Copies of this chain bind each other. A is one copy, B any other.
Amino acid sequence: MGYSKLKNELVSAANGVDYAYRDTGGGEDAVPLVLLQHFRGNLDNWDPALIDALATARRVVTFDNAGVGGSTGTTPDTIEQMARDALAFLAAMGISQADLLGFSIGSFVAQQITLTRPAIIRRLVLASAAPQGAAGMHGWAPEVIGAIGTRQTSPEAYLGVFFTPSAASRQAGREALRRMYARTEDRDKATTWATRDAQYDAVCTWGIPDHARLQGLSAIDMPVFVANGDSDPMILPRYSHLLAGLIPDARVKIYPDSAHGFLFQHHAEFAADVEAFLAEAS
């Protein structure tokens, strides 16, 4: 069944949070791919075309972290607590080994999970990502937070950050939005303003310049795939290169004419790249 038809499920974790999630796909590989969502995103903000492509060969799990969308609890204001909350979800699901795909703020959480509990993570995919403490990462650029950080958001503002101004990218963006909004029943709960504030506090705190912190990435000893769009205004592609330079076993790919939502725009190519990367381990 396609992602846009999947029902929302709930699992109760030991931390008292009921996590909303969707669980799809399957295959030979017993290790699921768990996805960590972007700033203000919920289950409906994953492009179904990407999830369905990833799920052709393996189990894919999306979830709302604590306090986000359909999950109960409070959105914390630190990446560290988001990592703890994500680990509680994995435990509640009985997932003792996972590949992680973290997107944007989700990539920060994925890095933190991997550093906190490396034993349960097999491989890591970092999409539109940056390392903690990197110079220039202290909050989104004014035009970005002005576009997607406001109380009222719009498809146009979303397109302006997640896609480039080219006709091809904008068209891809409109198609991605159409796929995300095709689901009309049982949509996930919208994320709240409290989630927005807490997540942005976490983003800014994570981004306090701290060169020494960069060294911590040398401890990530599993293979990592780092990917971004060549024109991402939210997290510049230079941070993907920085990650690839600091993580000992990383590969990096920058996708052409694409921005923060490169993984939706290039969903087939990106899913194939992720599959090839994960298949090496299975």
- Contact surface of A with B, Cβ cutoff 8 Å: 134-136, 211-212, 214-215, 218, 238-246, 248, 250, 252
Contact = CB atoms under 8 A, between A and B. Distances in A.
A241 to B, nearest CB: 4
B212 A212 contact: yes
Nearest to A211: B215
Contact of A252 (B211, B241, B243): B241
Contacts of A244: 238, 241-242, 245
Given A238-B250, A241-B245, A245-B238, A135 B218 contact: yes
A241 B250 CA distance: 10
A215 B135 CA distance: 9
A242 B252 CA distance: 11
Contacts of A211: 211-212, 214-215
Nearest to A238: B245
Scoring A211, A238, A245, A250 by chain B CB atoms within 10 A of each residue's CB, the highest score goes to: A245
Closest 10 CB pairs of A and B: A242-B245, A241-B244, A241-B245, A241-B241, A211-B215, A245-B245, A238-B245, A135-B218, A241-B252, A238-B244
Contacts of A212: 211-212
A276 to B, nearest CB: 16
A240 B244 CA distance: 9
A214 B134 CA distance: 12
A237 to B, nearest CB: 9
Contacts of A135: 218
A241 B211 CA distance: 17
A221 to B, nearest CB: 13
A252 B236 CA distance: 14
Given A214-B211, A214-B214, A215-B211, A246 B242 contact: yes
A211 B246 CA distance: 10
A234 to B, nearest CB: 17
A245 B226 CA distance: 13
Nearest to A252: B241
A245 to B, nearest CB: 3
28 contacts: A134-B245, A135-B218, A136-B248, A211-B211, A211-B212, A211-B214, A211-B215, A212-B212, A214-B214, A238-B244, A238-B245, A238-B250, A239-B245, A240-B245, A241-B241, A241-B242, A241-B244, A241-B245, A241-B250, A241-B252, A242-B242, A242-B244, A242-B245, A242-B246, A243-B245, A244-B245, A245-B245, A245-B246
